[in-house]
Amino acid sequence: MIAPVTQARALEERIKAQAFGLGFDLAGVARLGPVDTAQAFDDWIARGYAGDMHYLPRWADKRRDTRLPFPGTVSAIVVAMDYGGKTPSGPVARYARGDDYHDVMTAKLDALHEWIAAQVGHTVHGKAYVDTGPLLERDLARRAGLGWFGKNTNLLNPELGSFFFLGALLVDLELQPDEPFEADRCGTCTRCLEACPTNALVEPRLLDATRCISYLTIELKGEIPEDLREPMAGLLYGCDICQDVCPWNVTFARDLPDQSPFAPRQGIADKNARELARTILAMDDATFRLAFHGSPMKRAKLRGLKRNAAVVLGNVGDSRDVSLLIRAVDDAEPLVAAHAASALARIRERPRPM
């Protein structure tokens, strides 16, 4: 008769193998319970670094203990999926150029959930989370041995770098956890802090989201502060700078595999910052819905993307964009109109080429 521990270990290894077969690049197991970084997260909120992300303080008690988001679960299968750090940088952060990672990874985790139930021969109580609930996935991932917290606050893996998504499947199975990743392999490197154009990294592993370009272009719903517009340069949605300069990504970032759901969509991959900004600024609601169906970029909504596009044109546009910006000044959305007027003023203030 096989001992229970041997059976559990065999199941865990089969679960990881199945996760890899489904397309995940990393997989590990963590025991649910009190969260190591809960106090740091609470302190971060208290210091105002979350900005307008008012949803983050909600369900604070559940964020402090990973057993609470889905009661009855005791283990987490934590996975990572690479989204291609070798593709060239551009106006849209790499993670947002293809299909929405929430949809892609949730479907794969649901498939893993069904497979596990078939393996054990009974219903498995559980739920998949992909950045969709009161769960600190990064903390779970470190516990599951997938990496350490980099100085840019991203989870870093010694074989992948940081260009990957995280997800977790919480289950009511008693699985043997992997060893947590205890090492800090950033050493004395501070390239990410030095490269951030808005000085959003206050200190190692402490991000002021209100200054982060990803926050400004995605999560912020109001006006982008005047002093942070120029540092955005041609970045229209998200930012990869702190990851691009990380030596672990320089060495280990990967190309996207063929047929990856995260491959850049037509209309994003073939446009530079100015061209994409012009395209978005000219969109109506119907065009927006068609262009960004199934894309994570829809999170910013059309008003947010048009606001960002106006800022980009204010930074990299020229006299050819004046007529488009004049029309945008009359946009029915005050947020768009205000940023278009600011961009128009910036272009007109620039010296014209001889």
Give the distance, in angstroms, between the CA of residue 44 and the centroid of all CA atoms in the same chain: 18
User: Rounded CA gap, 24 and 253, in Å?
Assistant: 15
CA 81, CA 155: separation in Å to the nearest integer?
Answer: 12
Structure tokens at 219: 């999560």
- The Cα 344–Cα 348 span in angstroms is 6
CA distance 311 to 326: 14
In the residue annotation, 131 being an active-site residue is answered as: yes
Residue 275 neighbours by CB distance under 10 Å: 12
Alpha carbons 22 and 25: distance in angstroms, whole number:
9
Instruction: Give yes or no for a contact between 329 and 344, defined as CB atoms under 8 angstroms apart.
Output: yes
- Residue 221: its H or E element: none
Which residues on neighbouring strands pair with residue 167, listed in sequence order?
A: 79
Q: Which of 99, 110, 131, 172 is catalytic?
A: 131
Active site residues: 131
